[in-house]
Amino acid sequence: MGFDSLVGGTIWDEYSQKVQDRMNHPIHMGEITEEDAEKAGGKLIVADFGAESCGDAVRLYWIVNEETNIIETAKFKSFGCGTAIASSDVMAELTIGKTVKEAVKITNIDVEFAMRDNPETPAVPPQKMHCSVMAYDVIKKAASQYLGVEFDSLEDEIIVCECARVSLGTIKEVIKLNDLTTIEQITDYTKAGAFCKSCIKPGGHEEKDYYLVDILKEVRNEMAAESVKTSADTEAIGGDVAFAQMTLVQKLKSVEATLDENIRQMLIMDGGNMEVLDIKENGENIDIYIRYLGACNGCASSSTGTLYAIEAVLKEKLDESIRVLPI
């Protein structure tokens, strides 16, 4: 099957027992014919997808109930390594019982996670994550056929790291929001680049349109230019920029500085803390989403006195339209 060359040493320690079982005894491998679909009273969908990076390919069969759009039966054929067989087998299984639109929401991370023996240990070594990506892509191919839409229309974002399904927009936002400066930090926050590493810089096993090194450089340059512009604007108007006019990064830094100066130390003294998750404009309000940590999490005062104190300080120091919403 193309995976015999992996045997030797402790290579099998990198594969979960579930993966090894599915390699040798796949449950959903097979073929569905038009006759099978007619007997079941459903529509037959056959989709093919191949991975250019390794030459593997998978064919997915569905019988879909056209009244409910539910996938009643799924089978596959895999032309590739043992990991591709295991991933395809689990992928087919995950689609059964779901509507076609629900199946499209299954990601390669879902496939890989379902193959784990325990939640903390990856099911396959990083360089084999592309097999679960292929399984994810063939779902989209089948769904596009059934729904009568273009394959690309089911992916509304540019995916930079296919292993972890991390989009370009997410990476840029995380860099700005958390003031990230290294690739390692991007990986810690998003998991992009944690697996096959092809998306980090040119020279990996698969050529990419976007690389983390270039994205980081571009965003850091944008942030520097934005900082210069903000400083110039502040100097021009002879004062500080109003909170409502700040960029998201500036708002976050202002909120954090205000909390550090007026609130956070009191929470820490009581064994707790808090973190700011997001800041969004909502009509006339500026909503600040927070999460309580430590002793503050679940404390009765966290939704009453403590919350009112946090909101009152931020309203007084920054903007009257602020609302603080714990999650």
Report the catalytic residues: 54, 131
Q: In what order do the strands lie in the sheet containing 285-294?
A: 272-282, 285-294, 322-326
Q: Are 224 and 212 in contact (CB under 8 A)?
A: no
Whole-number Å distance between alpha carbons of 277 and 290: 5
Alpha carbon of 182 to those of 190, 216, 299: distances in Å?
13, 8, 36
| Helix axes 212-237 and 248-262, enclosed angle (nearest 10) | 70
Among left, alpha and beta (phi > 0; psi -120 to 50; other), residue 179 is left
CB contact burial 83-94 (16+ within 10 A = b; e otherwise): bbbbbbbbbbbb
Beta strands (DSSP E) in the chain are 43-50, 57-65, 70-79, 159-161, 166-167, 272-282, 285-294, 322-326
DSSP class of residue 317 equals H
Judge whether 150 and 72 are in contact, CB under 8 Å.
no
Q: Which residue has the tokens 């989403």?
A: 289
